[in-house]
Amino acid sequence: MTIRVTVWNEARQDRSDDAVRAVYPDGINAAIAAGLREEDGLLVRTATLDEPDQGLSAAVLAETDVLVWWGHVAHNEVTDEVVDRVHARVLDGMGLVVLHSAHFSRIFRRLMGTTCALKWREAGERERIWVVDPGHPIAEGLPESFVLDHEEMYGEHFDVPAPDRLVLVSWFQGGEVFRSGCCYQRGRGRIFYFRPGHETHPTYHQPLVRRVIANAARWAGMPSGSAPSYSNPPPLEPLG
C-alpha cells in the first residue's frame, strides 16, 4: 500500500537567511522530502506557505495520508481556514508529523490543547537521542541511541499532554533532557512530534533522523480503523 505524504514548510528562513541556505541550499522541505523519497512505499509531494491556499487546499489534503509540518517564524500567518481544515482532516484519520519548532505551530497547539512551551538554547551542543520504547514501530531500525553533534537544545518542562507513547528521550550536553518522540491519537488521526531540526544544523541530512521521519510517516499513515457517527439514534433495545 502506498502512503501519500505531503511535506509542508513555511519556507521563509531557508530563502532569506544565509546560514540556513548554507545548510539547506534547496530549502529545508527539499531535504525532508529527499529523505522520505529514499523509502519504498511512500509517495512524496511538497507544499509551502506561499502557495495558493497556503499549499493546503481541500484537494491536497484529500490526497494526503500523512502531513509532515515544519514551521518557525511564520506560525501566525497560517490562517484559521487552513488550521481548521488540517484539524478536521487529522481527526478524520490523516496522520501528522510535527517537527522541531513546529511545537508552536497553530495546528499542533490546537490539537494538544496546551501551550506547548519549552526551554531552548541555541548553542550548537551535542544531543543524544535514546529509544525508551523499543517495541514501537517508529523505533524500527534504530540503534539504542544516536548522536547529533550540534543541535539547538530543547528542555523540560514541555507543556504537552502526556504522550500516549513516549518513544524517544533526548540527553543534552548542557544538562537537560527532553521527551523528543511523542505519539498521540486524536480522533482517528495519529500525531508524532519529533524534536530535532534547527534550521542552521544539517539535521535533516542525517540518516537516522531520516529513518525516524520515514518510520513516523508509515506509522501515522496506517489504516485508521472504523468510521464513527455522531447522531441522535433510536434505541437498539426496547425501552420497556
How many residues lie near a copy of itself (CB under 8 A)?
79
| 163: nearest Cα among 144, 140, 198, 136 | 136
CA dist 10 → 1, 7, 29, 134, 229 (Å): 29, 10, 9, 33, 35
Out of 185, 205, 210, 213, name the contact with a copy of itself by CB under 8 A: 185
Exposed, middle or buried: residue 163 (CB in 10 Å: 0-12, 13-18, 19+)? middle
Out of 60, 68, 78, 139, name the contact with a copy of itself by CB under 8 A: 139
CA dist 22 → 3, 28, 126, 199, 201 (Å): 31, 11, 20, 10, 10
Out of 34, 74, 155, 205, name the contact with a copy of itself by CB under 8 A: 155
Q: Is 131 in the site for a copy of itself (CB under 8 A)?
A: yes
Nearer to a copy of itself, 51 or 140 (CB): 140
- Residues in 89-108 that interact with a copy of itself by CB under 8 A: 91, 93
Q: Is 196 in the site for a copy of itself (CB under 8 A)?
A: no
Q: CB–CB of 128/147 below 8 Å?
A: yes
Nearer to a copy of itself, 59 or 227 (CB): 227
Shortest CB 106 distance to a copy of itself, Å: 12
Q: Is 236 in the site for a copy of itself (CB under 8 A)?
A: yes
Q: Is 189 in the site for a copy of itself (CB under 8 A)?
A: yes
Is 164 strand, coil or helix? Answer: coil
Nearer to a copy of itself, 26 or 144 (CB): 144
Nearer to a copy of itself, 31 or 131 (CB): 131
Distance from C-alpha of 1 to C-alpha of 52, rounded to nearest angstrom = 29
Q: Is 199 in the site for a copy of itself (CB under 8 A)?
A: no
Bridge-partner residues for 9, per DSSP? 48, 70
